[in-house]
Structure 1
């Protein structure tokens, strides 16, 4: 088993809406309770798979307060705080810290396709958040379009006391994780992957200690991680092979809409609504997702029944 302080399955909570597009706050509590019952090691809120780009600033604060109050320390909570403006990121970090978040997660500064932080600006933004005094998880995701070379990440880990956690979900994530761990050594306290665990085995083999997936089947992905870290490679490979068709369908066809479809089917939430301009899943795509999930008998499909 890894001796690193952060490991396991830390999925992203979806943000439920009513059919009219308003926040479903009671549904949000049920989502969190379901995730805890799925045996997660931690929960991330307000991330891309939480539809953070479709949520107002006022709603962000409402959700941050609600989630941290409702989880109430049962598992650690990561609050995503990404923004192009450094003062806003710092303000969000302070709020998360003051409300009891364990970690904040952020992408490098970017806005649209053309406004991208330079390596030095990225370093400065993370350093400013580090001064807030809460652990930071850097999210290296294609959505930002910002190149984050390994030497920059290692410099950040070396020079920013709170910057020791890394979620790597760029193309060829395993190669980057391997290089990051090789160069950063013990400075890299949490080498995680993401992207629905579509490259999980390769990333674990490269040294990842955890994964940030969706909330769809963390109860089935968690054992894969634990088996792998315990040296039970055969069991990990078999477990991963069993769930991979569902993960592939989620990753390639559904995205963040998948967890909501599964949670509606299982009575966790009442609606799979996503705000415009996100379209609903095609009924056939949703039907195949459920067809792939049912033989796996994940908790999400029976939690609310």
Structure 2
């Protein structure tokens, strides 16, 4: 498999969730995709995750999804994880194998919302890994707020112990700080092998997640350079500096966390930063009202008081 090294349990830093750039008419914007990929690397990201939930993957045809993932993989000099979650294992394999052949570092799999019991969840991951191949590194996506599937620390441990190809957890439980502590406790007592833990939720709890033992972030906030700095400062033990920088962005992070319009906010800010030519989403998708755009613009002026990067945006 060509490309960057395969994903493993040592992965750390910021694996930014890439939105899918579209033209106003819904066509995939390849130029913005390239510009976005370059920006993520320049911003200090250590990896990119394509076709995640905020990448509008369900709105893409299979050929489009593979083309987008391949384009990012071939342009990036950092590892690229590809989201391959699908209702059936056949569709999952049909995306996972070609993505890995193109040079992906691993794939991300979320459980379907139909799972109800611990045994069903554990069995699902066993079946998914059997379908795509045990040679492909897997990120377990734990996002109960969106998916409705609750994975306890014990269930995650069962999945990790039974499947050596599971090397990373995308932690998006909320509240979830105690879950991180418990998982790291399993590693300390030897009952679970080490895994990478990267956190989502727009970075909303990243400051304390790092202190609980997370290795970084896997999310798509429109200032991934800030996320990278917070992770670095936290790992350097510069607690106050990490929190000060994080706190400067917190009002905008909070605003972006609103259900249904979060991606619209994120794309709008990335457009303001000159990364995306359009903030369009493929239909059906939310959009910002004039009042909402004005609120985001105001928040950016507030963020600029603590982070000059926000002050560089054109009016």
| TM-score (norm. length: structure 2) | 0.86
Give the Cα–Cα distance (whole angstroms) in 2 for the partners of residues 193 and 146 of structure 1: 17
Picking from 295, 298, 305, the partner of 1:291 is 298
Instruction: Give the deviation of 1:25 after TM superposition.
Output: 1.3
Instruction: Give the deviation of 1:286 after TM superposition.
Output: 2.2
* Alignment-derived partner of residue 70 in structure 2: 65
* Alignment-derived partner of residue 248 in structure 1: 254
Asked if residue 8 in structure 1 is aligned to residue 19 in structure 2, the reply is: no
8 Å Cα contact 1:109/1:116 also seen in 2:
no
* Alignment-derived partner of residue 75 in structure 1: 78
8 Å Cα contact 1:250/1:289 also seen in 2:
no
Give the Cα–Cα distance (whole angstroms) in 2 for the partners of residues 88 and 116 of structure 1: 22
* Alignment-derived partner of residue 95 in structure 1: 98
* Alignment-derived partner of residue 225 in structure 1: 231
Instruction: Give the deviation of 1:115 after TM superposition.
Output: 6.4
Distance change in 2, residues 1:80/1:190 (3 Å): same
Structure 1 residue runs of 5 or longer lacking an equivalent are none
* Alignment-derived partner of residue 281 in structure 1: 288
RMSD of aligned residue pairs (Cα, Å)? 2.3
Deviations 1:82-131 (A, max 9, x none): 11212222232211211111121110134xxx566822432323432573
- Equivalent position SS for 2:16: coil
| TM-score (norm. length: structure 1) | 0.89
Give the Cα–Cα distance (whole angstroms) in 2 for the partners of residues 301 and 77 of structure 1: 28
- Aligned runs of 1:1-305 on 2, under 5 Å? 5-71=10-76, 74-110=77-113, 114=114, 118-128=120-130, 131-141=133-143, 142-185=145-188, 187-252=193-258, 254-294=261-301, 295=304, 296-298=307-309
- Equivalent position SS for 1:137: strand
How many residue pairs end up in the alignment? 296
* Alignment-derived partner of residue 4 in structure 2: none
Instruction: Give the deviation of 1:300 after TM superposition.
Output: 10
Give the Cα–Cα distance (whole angstroms) in 1 for the partners of residues 209 and 278 of structure 2: 34
Instruction: Give the deviation of 1:215 after TM superposition.
Output: 4.8
8 Å Cα contact 1:90/1:132 also seen in 2:
no
Deviations 1:21-59 (A, max 9, x none): 111111111111111111111111110111112222121
* Alignment-derived partner of residue 5 in structure 2: none
Give the Cα–Cα distance (whole angstroms) in 1 for the partners of residues 173 and 135 of structure 2: 27
Structure 2 residue runs of 5 or longer lacking an equivalent are 1-8
8 Å Cα contact 2:111/2:121 also seen in 1:
no
8 Å Cα contact 2:126/2:163 also seen in 1:
no
- Equivalent position SS for 2:164: coil
Instruction: Give the deviation of 1:290 after TM superposition.
Output: 2.7
More deviation, 87-96/293-302: 293-302
